[in-house]
Amino acid sequence: QTKDLLKRKNMSQAGEILVFTGPMFSGKSKALMARLETKQRAHKKVLIIKPAIDDRFGMVGKIVAKRKKAEKFEPDDSMPAHIIRDDDLELRDLILREKPDVLGIDEAQFFGPWLGRTLYLCRNTINLEIYVAGLDLDAWANPFGGMPDVLAYADEVCKFTANCFKCGQDARFTQKVGGSAEQKIQVGAENIYEARCGNCWTSPA
């Protein structure tokens, strides 16, 4: 697979990996979409992917930016995306088939540790511009999924904060307030999660 990627472009200059990270409700997806739209306006071929597990808002096949309307967060904007499983080969095959200039990945925390290394290879071998959005920490304040590896390989990291749902201060943690306290991966929005500052955050269990 890596040899096939090398054959597609013979570039001396490497690409880049830029990551937008932080807690839920901090605007990561919105920042990602804004960057990808800029690349589309520059006539770059943009490939967007999202994990199959993320089916919130019933918008399958799209990445979604949210905005608080009245008392809850609702979809504010969206972009078409390819849905893939947590599968290294599936992503590589998709890149080989689509031949993008730019790759965008939303909700990257739902992919495994393979993601960081794969993105690093794509960055270096085919000069791919890569933009990633994902949670750095889970609701237990532990590194989430494949994000530690993605952050380790990133050229630049933009860390976002949200507004604490309890006190309004800057929030860098995600609090689980519903669902199962034992279930480590549970997809949901404000019905299950809130953004919290360090003083207001507590571990689910």
The question of whether 107 is a catalytic residue gets the answer yes
Q: How far apart are CA 104 and CA 118, in angstroms?
A: 14
Burial of 29 per CB tally in 10 Å (0-12, 13-18, 19+): buried
Q: How far is CA 40 from CA 50, 79, 193, in A?
A: 18, 12, 32
Extract the tokens encoding 106: 């939303």
Least Cα distance to 155 among 28, 16, 32, 15 occurs for: 16
Residue pointed to by tokens 């000069």? 127
Query: Which member of 71, 74, 98, 107 is catalytic?
Result: 107
- Write out the catalytic residue numbers: 107
